[in-house]
Structure 1
C-alpha cells in the first residue's frame, strides 16, 4: 500500500476519505500518533522540537530498513 497525504478534500462518509483515499481508521490512528508525539514534546519541554522530530524520523527510517 502506498501512503497518500491529505489533499484538503476530506470526507466523512463511507469507510474511506474521498480526498486522500485513506481509511477513516487510518486517519484517526495517525492523528492519535501525532497527538502522542506532540504531548511527549510538551511534557519534556523541548525548546528544539524540530531536532527531536528529525531524530524520530531518522530512527523510524533506520528501523524500517532493518525489518525489510
Structure 2
C-alpha cells in the first residue's frame, strides 16, 4: 500500500512539473513575440531560452514519470 502512495505522489509531482513547464514555455513564446514586435534583441534571446527551458522541464518531468519503483 505504501508503494501505491509513493507512486501516486510521484505521478502527481510529474504532472505538476509538466504543467509548469508548459506554462513556462508559453510565457517564453509571449516574451519572444513581444521582442520580435519591438525588435528587441535581448528580449528575443530571453524568450527563446525560456521556451527551451520549458521544453527541458517537460522532458525531465516526462522522464521522471517513467521511472519505476
Higher relative contact order (CA 8 A, sep 6+): 2
Quick check: which has more Rg, 1 or 2? 2
Q: Which has the higher helix share?
A: 2
Q: TM-score, normalised by structure 2?
A: 0.38
